[in-house]
């Protein structure tokens, strides 16, 4: 797609964009143009009002019998899963070493491949284990401001481990919270991009490890935000770490 | 507490209330776009489950809960239609709808006064046939402007212009009525 398309040509895409009728291959070019063109931005705003009003043209249709109960049954079916989530939402206040040791055992193959054949018997050095974990193949690599980085790996039991370096300790009354995202997540703020909490954690000596039995399968991105103590149901701040 | 605050507090009764208030318009939008009662129920269920999972996605500064949920249902429906490529299946019925200038009825339903609906439908009816076709295909049919062009047998540029003129005219008509 040529980037030097004329203003007129791009303005013609504003109305299709407002009504969601721009094909995927032209999305980026029109988004970027609207961001940089006041005229098109104000046209979009004006057309958007009409598009929003179109929702009012819909005739209500009575719900099929049993609809509410079917939705509520799904909500009920999710409850045990939420209870697990709530448990993992507790602060990870355990000391770093046992967490690293557990992660290392689950990643024994990776650790051995990294040259730490004696990982099982020599758990004395959290630094060495974290270095080994660090070299293992990651499902997600997260980056942030400055030197802060993190990786997420799948463990041999199908769960996952998150390990970060370079994050400062969270301020009083704040926690770091880890999020897994699925769905269309090019724009992570989009409501369609589903963000699921994988728990809150603390940083000790610049390192943090989160262990969870939950699988990374199906997730497309991961992020870390700073939230109020105990975590939030959905992210409320700009991520300090984000995967590509 | 507002409905959203109660949803955020995981109050299941609040979700029941949301379904009772907005279920009809959400299902109406889904049914109109996907044109299949079973798929429409799937979309409507998914819409309310999304509300349950992410009540924070609703921003009261940007409009009412009703129009938010109808918008979510519309997006999910369009995704579904595109994914399943059920375009062919519903082409005939949509063409019939483009022709029609529906009249009708009902009582309060969570989206707003019935007046609003009549106003929007009147405004739609006042567009030229060519503008209305393009707007209905894109909005309720989930078509891209290229697909609109193919279906109407016009150049892509013409499809874009009809969408633009139609939506701007709609805006003008609705602004002057309210």
What is the Cα–Cα distance from B135 to A18, expressed in whole angstroms?
Answer: 11
Specify the pTM: 0.54
Just give the CATH number of B3-83: 1.10.1740.10
Residue span(s) of chain B under CATH 1.10.10.10 come to 101-177
In whole numbers, what is the pLDDT of chain A averaged over residues?
76
Residues of B in contact with A58 (CB under 8 A): 25, 28-29, 32, 70, 111, 117
Which whole number is the average pLDDT over A18-42? Answer: 89
Evaluate if residue A92 carries a pLDDT over 70: no
Q: Is the pLDDT of residue B161 over 80?
A: yes
Would the pLDDT of B90 be above 80?
A: no
Query: Distance, in angstroms, between A151 CA and closest chain B CA?
Result: 26
Chain B hits for A14, CB-CB cut-off 8 Å, are 164
Determine whether the interchain pair B116/A54 forms a contact, defined as Cβ–Cβ distance below 8 Å: no
Chain-chain contact of B54 with A50 (C-beta, under 8 angstroms): no
Return the minimum-mean-pLDDT range out of A52-61, A191-200, B83-92, B109-118.
Answer: B83-92
How far, CA to CA in Å, does B32 sit from each of A117, B39, B114, B137? Answer: 62, 11, 18, 11
Q: What is the pLDDT of residue B101?
A: 44
pLDDT in tens, A96-126: 555 566 665 555 444 433 333 333 333 344 4
Interface of A with B (CB under 8 A): 12-16, 18-23, 46-47, 49-64, 67-68, 70-72, 74-75, 191-192, 194-195, 233-234, 236
Residues of chain B with CATH 1.10.1740.10: 3-83
Percentage of chain B surpassing pLDDT 70?
Answer: 80
Strand, helix or coil for residue A136: coil
pLDDT above 90 (res B68): no
A-B C-beta contacts closer than 8 Å: 161
Name the residue of chain A whose CA is nearest to B105's CA: A59
CA distance A222 to A212: 14
Of residues B72, B75, B163, nearest to A15 (C-beta): B163
Q: Are B140 and B94 in contact (CB under 8 A)?
A: yes
Q: How far apart are CA B45 and CA A67, in angstroms?
A: 8
Q: Which fold has domain B101-177?
A: Arc Repressor Mutant, subunit A (1.10.10)
């Amino acid at each position: 797609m040529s980037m030097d398309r004329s203003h007129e040509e791009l303005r013609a895409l504003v109305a299709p964009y407002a009504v969601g009728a721009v094909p995927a291959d032209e999305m980026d070019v029109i988004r970027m143009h609207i961001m940089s063109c006041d005229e098109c931005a104000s046209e979009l705003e004006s057309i958007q009002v009409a598009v929003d009003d179109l929702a009012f043209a819909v005739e209500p249709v009575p719900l099929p019998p049993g609809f509410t109960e079917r939705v509520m049954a799904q909500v009920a079916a999710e409850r045990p899963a939420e209870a697990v989530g709530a448990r993992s939402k507790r602060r990870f206040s355990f000391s770093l070493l046992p967490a690293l040791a557990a992660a290392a055992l689950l990643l024994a193959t990776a650790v051995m491949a990294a040259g730490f054949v004696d990982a099982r018997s020599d758990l004395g050095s959290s630094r060495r284990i974290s270095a080994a974990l660090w070299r293992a193949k990651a499902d997600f690599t997260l980056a942030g401001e400055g030197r802060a980085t993190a990786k997420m790996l799948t463990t041999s039991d199908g769960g996952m481990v998150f390990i970060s370096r370079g994050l400062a300790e969270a301020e009083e009354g704040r926690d770091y919270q880890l999020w897994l995202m699925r769905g269309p997540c090019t724009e992570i703020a989009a409501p369609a991009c589903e963000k699921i909490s994988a728990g809150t954690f603390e940083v000790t000596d610049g390192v943090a490890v989160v262990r969870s039995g939950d699988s990374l399968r199906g997730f497309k991105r991961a992020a870390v935000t700073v939230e109020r103590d105990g975590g939030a149901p959905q992210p409320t701040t700009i991520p300090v770490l984000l995967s590509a | 507490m507002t409905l959203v605050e109660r949803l955020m507090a995981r109050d299941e009764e609040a979700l029941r209330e949301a379904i009772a208030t907005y279920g009809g318009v959400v299902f109406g939008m889904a049914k109109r776009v996907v044109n299949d009662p079973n798929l429409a129920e799937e979309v409507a269920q998914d819409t309310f489950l999304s509300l349950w999972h992410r009540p924070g996605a609703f921003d009261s500064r940007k409009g009412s809960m009703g129009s938010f949920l109808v918008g979510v249902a519309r997006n999910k429906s369009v995704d579904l239609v595109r994914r399943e490529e059920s375009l062919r299946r519903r082409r005939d019925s949509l063409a019939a709808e483009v022709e029609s200038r529906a009249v009708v009825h009902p009582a309060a339903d969570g989206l707003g006064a019935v007046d609003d609906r009549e106003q929007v439908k009147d405004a739609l009816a006042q567009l030229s046939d060519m503008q209305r076709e393009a707007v209905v295909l894109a909005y309720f049919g989930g078509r891209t402007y290229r697909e609109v062009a193919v279906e109407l047998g016009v150049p892509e540029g013409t499809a874009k212009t009809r969408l633009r003129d139609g939506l701007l005219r709609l805006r003008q008509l609705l602004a002057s009525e309210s």
